[in-house]
Amino acid sequence: MKILSCFLAAILFVSTASAQSLQNSVDAMARAYKGDVGIYAINLENGDTISYHGEKMFPTASVIKIYVLAKLYQEVKDGKLSMDDRVTLQDSDKVPGSGILLFMHAGLRPTLGDLAWLMIDMSDNVAANLLTDEVGGVMKVTQYIRSLGLDHTMELARIFDRRVYPDSSLEKIYGIGVTTPRETAKFLKWLYEGKIVDKASSRKMVDIMKYQFYNTSIPRFLPTWRDTIEIAHKTGALNATRNDCAIIYTPRANYILCVFTTHNADQRWITDNKAEMFIAKVSLLVYNNFVK
């Protein structure tokens, strides 16, 4: 028993030392970055956590869409909606930005399931607004988030709809949504554990997130991605904001990583935008510590 206790203590010491080394490296990278950064990571194998401004509030941009997705699955579980229900696209529904429904003819009748895939994997703004309406509106989404015990995460407005919902002062600062790195990491951990709505719904949401179209941030430098690594994630981007939040599945360890950046000096809409590169470098750093 004494030998076993010493062995476990040694493992704990190595884990703690490794986590502290990673924390120091993350701190150094974040301090050197030209913009505001928030990072939160959880090693799902040993519980190690890394945080840099993890409690600070950041604009979600399209990351808020994972919460709309969860509210949708809750409505389906409660029998109020079905994924086979159809919505008729109107010209008045069309808003600019990411996605493809903007370019479709009015009269198209996608199912709620179709809209869910478009909202997450193509980050379709029209789909997000339609689903927000279907689940009861912005305030209902925020009420659902509150019911999970997340106190600093809110959907604040429909996309490209300047009518303000719960709090106009927050909407002016954060746009369509606000969260903290820690709270969204916690949400993803619950999703990973099958605790969002129920196990079956959680699994379906994760499956949708694994087909993300925008992969130039967290997945970018990870070795054997698409071969032995699976990534369920959601990005968010505005001129001065670039975010990515993910559940990363590898053969050796699974972990959560959320990186938020805002007030970025580099606001170019190119693949090598410095914020996206920063997120990719943080992702590789965390991978090398949590997995290798």
Considering the domain architecture, whether residues 139 and 249 belong to the same structural domain is answered as no
Distance CA 127, CA 133 (A): 10
End-to-end CA distance of the chain: 29
Considering the domain architecture, whether residues 239 and 195 belong to the same structural domain is answered as yes
Q: How many domains does the chain have?
A: 2
Domain-embedded: residue 147 = yes
Does residue 290 contact residue 253 with C-beta atoms inside 8 Å? yes
Considering the domain architecture, whether residues 119 and 78 belong to the same structural domain is answered as yes
Q: List the chain pLDDT tens, one digit each, 292 residues.
A: 554 444 334 344 446 678 999 999 999 999 999 999 999 999 999 999 999 999 999 999 999 999 999 999 999 999 999 999 999 999 999 999 999 999 999 999 999 999 999 999 999 999 999 999 999 999 999 999 999 999 999 999 999 986 655 556 888 899 999 999 999 999 999 999 999 999 999 999 999 999 999 999 999 999 988 899 999 999 999 999 999 999 999 999 999 999 999 999 999 999 999 999 999 999 999 999 999 7
**pLDDT score recorded for residue 119:** 98
Considering the domain architecture, whether residues 48 and 127 belong to the same structural domain is answered as no
Domain-embedded: residue 20 = no
Domain-embedded: residue 191 = yes
* HSE of 273, CA atoms in CB hemisphere, 13 A: 23
Considering the domain architecture, whether residues 106 and 137 belong to the same structural domain is answered as yes
Domain that holds residue 144: 57-179
Domain-embedded: residue 9 = no
Task: Write down the residue that tokens 């969002």 correspond to.
Answer: 196
Considering the domain architecture, whether residues 43 and 126 belong to the same structural domain is answered as no
SS3 assignment, position 99: coil
Q: Percent helix, strand and coil across the chain, each rounded to 5?
A: 45, 15, 40
**pLDDT score recorded for residue 162:** 61
Angle formed at CA 67 by CA 118 and CA 125, multiple of 5 degrees: 35
Considering the domain architecture, whether residues 134 and 221 belong to the same structural domain is answered as no
Domain-embedded: residue 14 = no
Considering the domain architecture, whether residues 140 and 214 belong to the same structural domain is answered as no
Torsion region of 35: left, alpha or beta (phi above 0 gives left; psi -120 to 50 gives alpha): left
Considering the domain architecture, whether residues 186 and 123 belong to the same structural domain is answered as no
SS3 assignment, position 225: strand
Domain-embedded: residue 10 = no
Angle formed at CA 65 by CA 217 and CA 27, multiple of 5 degrees: 40
Domain-embedded: residue 277 = yes
Does residue 55 contact residue 180 with C-beta atoms inside 8 Å? yes
Q: Any idea what the CATH number is for the domain that residue 127 is in?
A: 3.40.710.10
**pLDDT score recorded for residue 170:** 87
Considering the domain architecture, whether residues 52 and 189 belong to the same structural domain is answered as yes
Instruction: Name residue 183's beta-bridge partners.
Output: none
Considering the domain architecture, whether residues 223 and 131 belong to the same structural domain is answered as no
Domain-embedded: residue 13 = no
Considering the domain architecture, whether residues 185 and 256 belong to the same structural domain is answered as yes
DSSP calls for 259-289 = EEEES-S----STT-HHHHHHHHHHHHHHHH
